[in-house]
Chains A and B, each alone.
Chain A
Amino acid sequence: QKEVEQDPGPLSVPEGAIVSLNCTYSNSAFQYFMWYRQYSRKGPELLMYTYSSGNKEDGRFTAQVDKSSKYISLFIRDSQPSDSATYLCAMRGDNAGNMLTFGGGTRLMVKP
């Protein structure tokens, strides 16, 4: 079993919908949680990161971390066709250097 699990999708939603993307993990040492967006044939780009449990909001994006359940989420409000991409969760511990452990990614398609 992988340390970080993520539903691969694809997830197809109409434009304007609220999107919920999730990851579960097994390593309780993870402290930093990130969401990356990856367009086809491009490298991942960082959307948001949070430390430990809690919520963080940035524009249309909200990241949530529940360490007690080992569950993290990314919500996208008012989704746009330009949000169509693969979303990767990633995480690391305090003492793991800076090496990131990624989920497998969820492919999102927002239809006009």
Chain B
Amino acid sequence: GAGVSQSPRYKVAKRGQDVALRCDPISGHVSLFWYQQALGQGPEFLTYFQNEAQLDKSGLPSDRFFAERPEGSVSTLKIQRTQKEDSAVYLCASSFLLQSNEQFFGPGTRLTVL
């Protein structure tokens, strides 16, 4: 595709439900990043992958958050037992090289937990 795509664009979940957010990076991009953006705030780092390897998950807020990229392309961010404080926009970004300064962002998934 021409850019990073994310699905769904909007997700409403009841507290306690599990959700899965998908990211399709730009074809051939080695690195993939997940960020969380609360309303009126800047994005905050969650985790990143180089190909299928998860190199840093230090930003994941709790063990309810889990990310995977099994074949080094599509990635899924899963949140178990969602809480109201998980409500945010989840942004995915990809870059061609690990040390590239240009990360291409998707439009995000807006998660609302009721």
Which A residues are within 8 Å of any B CB, using their own CB?
A: 4, 6, 8, 32, 34, 36, 41-46, 49, 88, 90, 97-105
Contact = CB atoms under 8 A, between A and B. Distances in A.
Interface in B45-61: 45, 48, 55-56, 59
Q: How large is the interface on B (under 10, 10 to 19, 20 to 34, 35 or more residues)?
A: 20 to 34
A6 B41 CA distance: 10
B106 interface: yes
Contacts of A103: 42
Contacts of B101: 32, 34, 46, 49
A91 to B, nearest CB: 10
B44 A102 contact: yes
A58 B92 CA distance: 26
A104 B91 contact: no
Interface string B99-114: 1111111111010000
Nearest to B107: A43
A46 B42 contact: no
Interface string B71-107: 0000000000000000000010101001111111111
B33 interface: yes
Contacts of B45: 99-101
